[in-house]
Structure 1
Amino acid sequence: MLSHHERRELERIQEWFERDDPHLARALGQVGGPGGWARSRALRYTIDALALGLILLGAVTLNFGLIFFGAVCLAAAACLHVTRWNDTAPRHRRLD
């Protein structure tokens, strides 16, 4: 827990950032999931399909390398699905 003096100093620094460089203050204050290509729903589903295709192809041909690479792609796709959170724009936070 911050003391009253520490909280006041942090508020002064935040106000200074907002006056001096509002773009930097907005970038530092963003809360939310990843942006850009990681939010792309088509990319996430394409990686899902690629991973499942590699696993099925590896199972049919009994190729452990394809199964392993498919599992790695599936893990990456799961990370993209989990970290997406939602498709809303990121919010900005202020010190309480």
Structure 2
Amino acid sequence: MLSHHDRTELEKIERSLELSDPDLAAALRDGRRPRSRALRGVFLVVFDVIAVTLLVTGLVVPDPGVTLCGIIALTGTVWTHVARHRI
């Protein structure tokens, strides 16, 4: 049996987990496995390829709009990779 102090500490941890990662908290509460990050990785690689393709196409075809979209998309992929590895 847990002591009163241990129960309050456990409740604090539960509340913190519920606030920081509600999907994981729900998965643990329901007894199911959390979603795989592999699917996110596949989407990220596809987005990388699309961003590079846009950038190269924008540089080959003299269209500043396509180049700008490629730069913005590539910036988004870099930001996503950095944010993903900080977790």
TM-score w.r.t. the length of structure 1 is 0.54
The partner residue of 1:26 within 17, 36, 49 is 17
Quote how far apart the aligned CAs of 1:15 are: 2.0
CA contact (8 A) 1:17 1:25 kept: no
- Runs of 4+ aligned structure 1 residues displaced above 3 Å come to none
Quote how far apart the aligned CAs of 1:60 are: 1.3
Which structure is higher in strand share?
A: 1
Aligned pair count?
A: 67
Stretches of structure 1 that go unaligned for 5 or more consecutive residues are 1-11, 91-96
Between the two proteins, what is the percent identity of the paired residues?
19
Quote how far apart the aligned CAs of 1:16 are: 7.6
For residue 52 of structure 1, what is the aligned residue in structure 2? 52
Q: Deviations over 1:17-59 (max 9, x none)?
A: 818xx4x4422365xxxx987x711111111111110111111
Quote how far apart the aligned CAs of 1:85 are: 1.7
Which structure is higher in helix share?
A: 2
> RCO (CA 8 Å, sep 6+): is it higher in 1 or 2?
1
- Whole-angstrom CA distance in 1 between matches of 2:9 and 2:47: 43
